[in-house]
Amino acid sequence: MLKLVNIVLLFLLVWFTHSLAGEYSGPNRDAEGNIVPTPKGEACIAPVAEMRREHMNMLLHKRDQTMREGIRTKKASLTECINCHVTPDASGNVARIDNKQHFCASCHVAASVSIDCFSCHADRPASMFSQQVSE
């Protein structure tokens, strides 16, 4: 009897944790399989597989170079990633980081990896700030 209860409990636990984790199916894609929102430009700085695996290291390396030495190349710069990957839709709106449609959030929510970048950095492309800049 006790064994049965244990099995039922175990089953419930697995089911519960599974429902918490959800199933990872990669970033949101539209009918053609493009990541939503569609990135600008032709290609990323590295193949998708490499980007998925290495983007955090690239960003970290670039971060220290820019911060400490003032090297401001565009490759692997967070601002440039955002400029390319977070693009406004037809009505000029973008998904913010608290929205699962945001490029970074689309994976990070599913993978349950919380990132700290956007408590300081802009989650929207620089073009959306042009008004404030010219003010």
Q: Contact with other proteins (CB under 8 A): which of 76, 81, 82, 94?
A: 82
Q: Considering only CA atoms, which of 131, 111, 95 is closest in space to residue 22?
A: 111
State which of positions 47-66 bind other proteins (CB under 8 A). Answer: 63, 65
Query: Smaller CB distance to other proteins: residue 25 or 134?
Result: 134
Q: Contact with other proteins (CB under 8 A): which of 67, 90, 91, 113?
A: 67
Q: What beta strand segments (E) does 13-89 contain? A: none
Q: Considering only CA atoms, which of 56, 96, 95, 93 is closest in space to residue 78?
A: 56
Q: Contact with other proteins (CB under 8 A): which of 8, 15, 72, 89?
A: 72
Stretch that binds other proteins, among 3-11, 49-57, 70-78, 99-107 (CB under 8 A): 70-78
Shortest Å distance, C-beta 135 to other proteins = 7
70 near other proteins, judged by CB under 8 A: yes
* 26 Cβ contact partners less than 8 Å away, ≥ 6 residues apart: 107, 110
Shortest Å distance, C-beta 100 to other proteins = 19
Query: What are the b/e assignments for 37-74, b being 16+ CB within 10 Å?
Result: bebeeeeebeeeeeeeeebeebbeebeeebeeeeeeee
Please tell me the distance from the alpha carbon of residue 82 to that of residue 94, in angstroms, as a whole number: 11
40 near other proteins, judged by CB under 8 A: no
Question: Which residues are near other proteins by CB under 8 A?
Answer: 63, 65, 67-74, 79, 82, 119-122, 125-126, 129, 132-133, 135
